[in-house]
Amino acid sequence: MSTLRVADHHPSTDNAAGSTSSTSTSRRTLLKGFAAAGAAVSMSSRVSWADGEIGYWAKDLPNEKLVEMYQTILRIRWFERTLADKQLSDRSFRNLIHLYAGQEAVATGVCAALNNKGPFEQLDIIFGTHRPTGHAVAKGVDMKKLAAEYNFKATGLNRGYAGEMHLSDRSVGYIGADGIVGPAAVLAAGSAFAFRARGNKQVAVVFGGDGTFATPAFHSSLNNASLLKLPFIYVVENNLYHQFAHYSYSTPIKDIATAANTYRIPGIVVDGQDVMEVYNKTKDAVERARAGEGPTLIEAKTYRYYGHWGAPGAKVGEMGSFGYDPQAITSWRPERELRAWLSRDPVDICRNTLVSWGVIDQAKAAAIETAMKQEVKEAFEWEAKQPLCKPEDALKNVFTEGTVAARQFG
């Protein structure tokens, strides 16, 4: 395939209510043919051309892969909406949750460009954040075990030890969620170093929020990855807020991706609501990493529909947190801002793209969503029947073998 790239389109960070990139009704473009005449195309016309095309990597995917991406977005969406409703109405639900709804296209687009099946030595690996559902589901973690882990069940993904913020599933290359903001980047860069030392083609990806820019791990990982040309990709999910503060309070640059200039690596801004755009740019970064050309920093402009954690301000059966949030003292973000982002919902954008490409029609799209809702429903029904951990289980797994002695305080 031709490696021709058109100019990157940088969407606004201030308002996500801008127009969606138009999509062609034809799956295949004449990009390869245009490559020969590329020298005659001016920079201004290239930018205009880029704005009118989603890109060519995704258009070359088989229908089955494109439908799978739509299914993944829907699995994440309905898993998260179920979590929100359970926290609002189910007193048997015990966990603290950091909801990912609104950001589904980022995890889905990134993971769709990775190797997610096969022996561990062939898997690309990811490190997630304290907002882990999207990353876990997109990488292929079993939703039943995930639901059980979120409610500290003994049959959960990590037998109830992880809860939400410390998930891990080596079998699919999901190394773990990050309960503290930022440090996973260093672990991911170290993993990328191991891949390079072994001479294989694996790639390490770390997800981080906009707040990670202000952490030492962000700069240390990119610095070393650049120096050593590691197969490392840093994905910043810029949802505008870390906890309840706008990212501009701790970050002096509008586009975090421009920090890549310091380390002489590509820094790419993508529309985090558009799964195809996320996939296209991640695919480029993965190809670059496998070829030994080094790391890439990707900043996905996105938005979370709920607050920092839990679902204050939300109502059962409705998506999004509006109004008063007691954790934030004030409403902390304008309602119009949230509604503007809701108007560019990643589920809608993905569905409309596949319909315009002729992959599915509206009836098929509705049937897929119904099926994904049922999968999520069955996952939580399975979780409800699972046993809780026992108190004595806390004495296990401190070391690789045996148990530790119980200690009483006071």
Burial readout 248-264 (b: 16 or more C-beta within 10 A, e: otherwise): eeebeeebbbebbeebe
List, for residues 25-63, the tens digit of each pLDDT value: 344 443 333 333 333 332 222 333 344 555 567 888 999
Is 23 within 8 Å of 356 (Cβ atoms)?
yes
CA distance 410 to 309: 33
Matching CATH number, 55-395, of 3.30.70.120, 3.40.50.970, 1.10.1040.50, 3.40.640.10: 3.40.50.970
Residue 65 has pLDDT above 90, yes or no: yes
Q: If phi over 0 gives left and psi between -120 and 50 gives alpha, with beta otherwise, what is residue 55?
A: left
Q: What is the pLDDT of residues 82-96, one digit of tens each?
A: 988 888 777 887 777
pLDDT score recorded for residue 96: 78
What integer is the mean pLDDT of 64-91?
92
Higher pLDDT, 166 or 370: 370
Q: What's CA 282's distance to the chain center, in Å?
A: 12
**Which ranges of 291-361 does DSSP label H, i.e. alpha helix?**
335-342, 346-356
User: Against a cut of 0.75, is the pTM above it?
Assistant: yes
